[in-house]
Amino acid sequence: MESTKLKLYVGADFVSAFAMSAFVALKEKQLSFELVTLDLKARENYQASYRDLSLTCKIPTLVHQDFALSESSAIAEYLEEIAPGHNRLLPLDIKQRARARQLQAWLRSDLLVIRKERPADLIYFGKKHTRLSDDTLAAVDRLFFVADRLLEGGAEHLFGDWSIADTDLAIMLNRLVANGDEVPSRLAAYVRRQWDRDSVRAWMDIERAAPAIQ
């Protein structure tokens, strides 16, 4: 596996939460890979060459030999299959693994209002200084309920040991923490722990150009 070159296609701005999740998964698996960037503002992800690779024109996309795969949660599961001897990305217990997948799916399919009002780029480039709408506050309450329930008893991670679902949850929570929104201290501490992982630091250490002021 180590001799096989992997490629990960991400946006050139390095702010996508989903690209971060796939990057962290590769780092946690200690797999070498080439990072390939696409200019999303120039719509390079819609060019025929990338469309044929990704099928959906989305980032991230992982390329392994002659196989290409999009969607960060699918990428994590694939890496778990092809590199089972490395650090686990998903819980070993079947029920906990199912719960991790449930959480990942929910974070990706719901909470759109949070993603709109607290986009991931503010984690890197500063605060928005806007109040959350009532709909977003309701979504935030749901997010805190889920996080609090899954981290019962002061747990450091969601399912005993770390999993990629921890990164995904921490990214969603950090949209609020980084903006200075009110977040329960225990959940803010959880975000800081996740952000202290070497894999996350490697993503954060990538140089980014601040977006031009409109």
Domains of the chain are: 6-87 (3.40.30.10), 94-200 (1.20.1050.10)
Number of H helices, E strands in the chain: 10, 4
Q: Is the pLDDT of residue 37 over 50?
A: yes
Q: Is the pLDDT of residue 149 over 90?
A: yes
Query: Which pLDDT belongs to residue 167?
Result: 97
Query: Which pLDDT belongs to residue 86?
Result: 76
- Which pLDDT tens digit goes with each residue over 40-79? 999 999 999 999 999 999 999 999 999 999 999 999 999 9
Q: SS in 3 state form for 164-213?
A: HHHHHHHHHHHHHHCCCCCCCHHHHHHHHHHHCCHHHHHHHCCCCCCCCC
0.85 surpassed by pTM: yes
18 contact partners, CB below 8 Å, separation of at least 6: 58, 59, 60, 71, 72, 108
Calculate the dihedral angle through the C-alpha atoms of 173, 202, 155, 178, rounding to the nearest 10 degrees.
-30
Overall average pLDDT of the 153-166 stretch: 92
122 contact partners, CB below 8 Å, separation of at least 6: 128, 175, 178, 179
Q: Which comes out higher in pLDDT, residue 130 or 191?
A: 191
What is the spatial distance between Cα 79 and Cα 36, in angstroms, rounded to a whole number? 18
Give me the percent of the chain exceeding a pLDDT of 90: 84
- CB 147, CB 176: distance < 8 Å: no
Q: Is the pLDDT of residue 128 over 90?
A: no
In this structure, which amino acid lies at residue 119?
P
